[in-house]
Structure 1
Amino acid sequence: MTDRSDGPIGRLPEHLIVEIFIRLPVSEWVQIACVNKQWANIFEGDCLWQTAIARNWPSAGLQKRWPGPIPRGSPRRRFQALYVSENLVPSGGEIDELVGHTYLYLKEQLERPAMPPSSILHGTIIDQFIACGKTGEKAHDLSSKIWLAVIDGLEENQKTFLLLKHLAREGEFFLPFPYSRSYKVLWRVYDKLFTDFRDCFSGADYHDALSTAKSRFQPVPSTWLGH
């Protein structure tokens, strides 16, 4: 990585470079930031992210900070959350920044070496949405969508296999609605285990997991059977 670009773009004022960058596909931003230190510094600062938010989601600048345990964060974090809300979590065409922040929060918690129990994570998400005025039913629905989006976005590797096994093995907590665990989420956990990660099981582990699945879902899909 060089200190500065010697090309035409490198000689432009920084605010014009920002205007160019935010019009390029987001998928290319990581590569662009690696070209030289000047461009890396632009992506590390707040100006680019604030400008990108203003261009892509003009109304986001009018949103106030919300109460609850999940903060709004830096401009870069806000951009990531808005991008997630628009592209990864279906919400009926609405762009809800809080949904994106909740997705990022859950994803980071699941990646921790000592992951909190899923019931705690689910409860935190429910509390966050209720604190922001959502009904219990809406909070539960949004939480389920976020869990499903995070689970579907996990890479297919040994770490994910162990995470899914952990989620499947967690005990049932008989909590009142909306704090009760989502049936759809638990189903997706088992479905990914028995379809995407079937070859990762030992024989004994597979039969233990299948026995637990049968105690929770009747009937189980034929695609879950056979090892």
Structure 2
Amino acid sequence: MTDNGRNDDGIITSVDTSVEKLPNHLLIEVFIRVPVSDWVQVSCVKKEWANLFCGECLWQAALVKLYPLAGQTKKWPGPIPRGPSRRRFTALYMSKHIFALDGEIDELVGHIYLFLKEQLELSTTPPPSGILHGTMIDQFIACGKSSDMAHELASQIWLAVVDGLEENERTFCLLKNLALEADVFLPFPYSISSKVQWRVFEKLFTDFRDCFSRVDYYDVLACAKNKFQPIPSAWLGY
């Protein structure tokens, strides 16, 4: 890009004509060598470039370039599909940057993370946590994970998603509903771990304390006391 392609605020306003003339397959080769953190900005420069980021070709090339072993991954059975190249790339990126799995990048973990995140953040009426958790467990077991491993991975995914939720009114309502869900006995590994349940209450009583009405606060506190004894004094407001 030319030096005069930025305005006084440093925003890109024009593109070197030599870059504009490159065919799409060469533009893709350039883009996938740009740091992933800059892709959103790059896609905003020109409508044609945005279209490339919406298509499959760029994401297929990115998979080959950045995750060469991904091509060896076979389709898997189970309720959570692998999806197109863009989703596969996102799943691999999430797996690499969020989960510490002994240095391995597990695409399946990334897909299940995206599944849970989307259900909790985008769905107008998310299914009960037991259904979501059971779907995750079934997917892991269908792909050959042991019950213990499925339970541990699902717990890690729950914690990562809950910790990553934005602090807004929708998240408060979501966490409150999760906390107030009736306990349903499910056999291992379909029972949600106490670590996940604890984190839900912890976020409510620390990050969202000011959002409670008096009635809601005591309802959620009663559920916490029923599930955990003793409970931290911070949850009681002191």
Structure-2 residue corresponding to 1:203 = 214
Counterpart position of 2:38:
28
- Specify the alignment match of 2:198 in structure 1: 187
Measured against aligned partners, the alpha-carbon deviations of 1:21-59 in whole angstroms (never above 9, x if no partner) come to 112222221222121111011101111111111121111
1:221 & 1:210 partners in 2: Cα distance?
A: 11
Give aligned pairs, total: 224
- Out of 56, 70, 76, the residue aligned to residue 60 of structure 1 is 70
1:51-200 → structure 2 map (5 Å cutoff): 51-110=61-120, 111-200=122-211
CA distance in 2, matches of 1:188, 1:124: 21
8 Å Cα contact 1:90-1:145 kept in structure 2: no
Stretches of structure 2 lacking an aligned partner (at least 5 in a row): 1-13
Partner Cα separation in structure 2 for residue 158 and residue 206 of structure 1 = 15
Query: Which blocks of at least 5 consecutive residues in structure 1 are unaligned?
Result: none
User: What is the RMSD computed on CA atoms of the aligned residues?
Assistant: 1.5
Deviations 1:155-177 (A, max 9, x none): 11000000000100111111110
**In structure 1, distance between residues paired with 2:174 and 2:193:** 17
In structure 2, the residue corresponding to 1:8 is in which secondary structure? Answer: helix
Q: What amino acid is aligned across from residue 167 of structure 1 in structure 2?
A: L
Output the CA distance in 2 between the equivalents of 1:91 and 1:190.
26
| Offset of residue 6 of structure 1 | 5.6
Q: Percent identity?
A: 63
Using the size of structure 1 for normalisation, the TM-score is 0.94
The one-letter code sitting in structure 1 at the alignment partner of 2:88 is R
Larger radius of gyration: 2
Which range moves more in the overlay, 195-204 or 153-162? 195-204
TM, length-normalised to structure 2? 0.90
